[in-house]
Chain A
Amino acid sequence: MKKDERATIRSIPSGVPGLDSVLGGGLPEYSFNLIAGGPGSGKTTLAHQIVFSNATVERPALYFTVLGEPTIKMLRYQRQFSYFDPKLAGSAIQFINLSTEVMERDLGDVLDRIVAEIERAKPGIVVVDSFRTIGRQHGSSERGTSFDLDHFIQRLALHLTTWEVTSFLLGEYSEEEQRNPVFTVADGLLWLSQATDRNSVVRKLQVLKIRGRASMPGLHTFRITDNGLQVYPRIPEQTSKRSLQQTHDRLSTGVAGMDEMLDGGIIAGAAVMLTGPAGSGKSTVATQFMSAGLAAGETGVIAVFEEYPEEYLRRANLRNPEVGKMIDAGKLALIYLRPLDLSVDEALFSILEAVDRLGAKRVVIDSLSGFEVALAPTFREDFRESLYRLVGTLTATGVTVFMTAEVSEAFAEARFTTEKVSFITDVIIVQRYVEMEGELRRVVAVVKMRGSNHSHEFRLYEVTAKGIVVGGTLTEYDGILSGTPTLRGKTNGVSPMPAKVKRAQTKAGRVAKARRGK
């Protein structure tokens, strides 16, 4: 061996989507790991997933069961998961019950049996489920005194490492028990938990320790589905190879008048927020924005939070029948995210996966208000920080993000945006209602646009069957923000509509009528 040659610690894949990123590249080979957590936290499922993705006939896995969940029930339930391949059971994965040794003999016999089975099978992976029951049975009993638990753990770890085995001990531990000797000996410590907040339950995973790896800190949410565990890292791995390229290209919103107000369109890669009260046409503009991209040959993703995708698609198709066809053609993905226990990371994972799959240039999030409601209560508390991560990660891939947000406002009080999210956006467009000559009118303005000489005017618009049509300005009016504008020089709010506004409205109406007639 050369003098400076270091032992290479290879990584083995966990087989759990998202977990290898959290672990800093995978599980260190020959490491001695503890998977801890409360009942029902997913320990056994995680261990099975690791085992089924790594075991081979040449390098099998030994799965030692002790007490707790009866093995036959464990097998019955575990085989419901898609990763459970019955062909591997018995050959590549051997289940061995240790209950006799644990119940009737001492820890020395338990260790001897484990070592004998390892010598026989020469496994690559060993699982002891549940290790905690061995400790309970022997840790404080008289039988434990001759061969105490600390010594047992020490020797077990040594045997497993010298036999070049990657091992996992499973156990129900509480956070107060972290002085348990197994926590000290373990090379890796994965903690699974279920956080309950009101009626919502969110599963979380934390890598408390992993030797020789820079793991991702923090609590990462995960779900257990028919496919097993799926971890959503807090800092998602950039699956896309696209790098952020500031092209300064202008993207059309699909609304001619709005493009004018935006100095030619939205700068590619920007985060745009369109706010307005209910019924002001936010989803309509969002659909037009996406349609403009599709018409230009781009691909896109729409994340829907407020309504069922079928209904959303039906209405989008009314405005632009191409939307449905584009989904069928694989140019557009409609993602439905409406559970009430959603985590930001899960939403981000779904959107990023679709962006990467389609090579999307445009992403619509409709709406942030629905997104906030869909989140589990525990995540609503740090919505601002979560949204910052979501938007930052998405725009870092180079996509342009168009978000809608509902603002509830008293009629005579203008609110441009929710204070929670305005800081993360490059462009803010505001829609609102005003009363003019006894009629409810809609106006739109660009409040913020970084790096552009955007319009500062209020402009009337109409929502038609084919989309938004922006009309003329209201430069002859004052008090638009009050909701009851008055013609300059008048104060009673019942001023006649000036010719310019009438022309603007008439023009918008004509365009709308012409589009309807198409």
Chain B
Amino acid sequence: MKNTADKSRETPSGERSPAGQIARRLIHSRRPASAGDGSSARAAATACDRLYDELSRWVGPDGCHALFTRALAQARAEYPALANIHLQPRSESYIDGVAETIMAFGDPATDEALESMLARLVELLGRLIGDDMAMKLIERSTVSDRDGAPSVKRREEA
């Protein structure tokens, strides 16, 4: 059950926190033109894959995985829907278990849970290296393709 005091996504007034807004934007950038069943949660998972891909270039797969692991652990305490979500470093899809979670909890709940995890990661990275630099790194993951830059095979291409 979602905790009403989810600080990483919402401010006290109920609005999305800056980290929550960035997470939402990341997910939105991965949303396909025509929405279907589970499309929101799949877009959220793709956004995570893409962010893992981009951040790994900077801080290495191990460093990036450490960040995601902590963000997932924090979000899991408030979102039971994340119980079956697993992180798979160096695999085609970094976020594993999305389809099963959508089946069990539905698309909106899975989407919301993944968004919360992303928001926590944004906050964590900001605390570690400064919000300005964290934003820059994160927003690079919304850029479609760098010229010739090596990348992991993405979920939407699969």
Which A residues fall within an 8 A CB radius of B? 65, 70-72, 75-76, 79, 86-87, 89-91, 95-97, 99-100, 113, 116-117, 119-120
> Which residues of B sit under 8 angstroms from A96, Cβ to Cβ?
57-58
15 further A-B contacts with Cβ under 8 Å, apart from A71-B58, A100-B90, A119-B148, are A70-B59, A71-B60, A71-B63, A72-B59, A72-B128, A86-B133, A89-B133, A89-B136, A95-B57, A96-B58, A97-B57, A97-B61, A99-B61, A116-B148, A120-B148
- A sample of 27 cross-chain residue pairs with beta-carbon separation below 8 angstroms, ordered by A number, consists of A65-B60, A72-B59, A72-B63, A72-B128, A75-B128, A75-B129, A75-B133, A76-B129, A79-B129, A79-B130, A79-B133, A86-B130, A86-B132, A87-B132, A89-B133, A89-B136, A89-B137, A90-B136, A91-B136, A95-B58, A95-B59, A97-B57, A97-B58, A97-B59, A99-B61, A120-B147, A120-B148
CA distance A150 to B49 in the complex (A): 38
Nearest-neighbour CB distance to chain B for A111, whole angstroms, equals 14
Most B CB contacts (10 A, CB to CB) among A86, A91, A117, A119 go to A86
Which one, B60, B128, B129, contacts A100 given CB within 8 A? B60
A100 and B61 in contact, given A86-B132, A90-B140 (Cβ under 8 angstroms): yes
* B residues adjacent to A (C-beta < 8 A): 56-63, 67, 90, 125, 128-130, 132-133, 136-137, 140, 146-150
- Residues of chain A contacted by B90 (CB below 8 angstroms): 100
User: How far is A100 from B57 in the complex, measured between Cα atoms in Å?
Assistant: 10
Q: Give the docked Cα–Cα distance between A100 and B89 (Å).
A: 11
Residue in B59, B60, B63, B136 whose Cβ sees the most chain A Cβ within 10 Å:
B60
Docked Cα-Cα span, A119 to B125, in Å, equals: 29
For the complex formed, measure the closest distance between the CB of A115 and the CB atoms of chain B, giving whole angstroms: 11
Contact A71 B59 (CB under 8 A): yes
Contact of B62 with A99 in the complex, beta carbons under 8 Å: yes
Give the distance in Å from the alpha carbon of A113 to the alpha carbon of B60 in the complex. Answer: 14
A90 to B130, CA, bound (A): 14
Closest-by-CB residue of B relative to A120 is B148
Are A113 and B59 closer than 8 Å at their CB atoms? Answer: no
Indicate if the CB atoms of A97 and B56 lie closer than 8 Å.
yes
The interface residues of chain A lying within 8 Å CB-to-CB of B62 are 70, 99
Residues of B near A70 (CB, < 8 A) are 59-60, 62-63
Cα–Cα, bound, A117→B146 (Å): 11
In the docked arrangement, what's the CA distance between A75 and B132, Å?
A: 12
CA distance in complex: A86, B57 (Å): 17
Q: Which A residues lie within 8 Å of B128 (CB)?
A: 72, 75-76
* Cα distance A320–B58 in the bound complex, in angstroms: 60
Which single residue of chain A is at the shortest CB-CB distance from B125? Answer: A72
**How far does the alpha carbon of A173 sit from the alpha carbon of B63 in the complex, in Å?**
26
Q: How far is the CB of B69 from chain A (nearest CB, A)?
A: 13
Top 3 closest A-B pairs, CB basis? A97-B60, A71-B59, A86-B133
| List of B residues within 8 angstroms of A116 by Cβ | 148, 150
Q: Whole-angstrom distance between the alpha carbons of A120 and B149 in the complex?
A: 7
Contacts of B57 in A (CB 8 A): 95-97
Distance in angstroms between the alpha carbons of A119 and B149 in the assembled complex:
10
Q: Are B129 and A72 in contact (CB under 8 A)?
A: yes
B137 and A90 contact, CB distance less than 8 A: yes
Closest to B147 in A: A120
Residues of B within 8 A of A65 (CB): 60
Given A72-B128, A75-B129, A113-B150, residue A86 in contact with residue B58 (CB < 8 A): no
Most buried by B among A70, A79, A97, A99: A97
Contacts of B137 in A (CB 8 A): 89-90
CB B98 to nearest CB in A, in angstroms, measures: 24
Q: How far is the CB of B39 from chain A (nearest CB, A)?
A: 30
Chain A nearest CB: distance from B145 CB in Å? 11
Given A72-B67, A120-B146, A120-B147, A90:B133 Cβ within 8 A: yes
Closest A residue to B124 by beta carbon equals A72
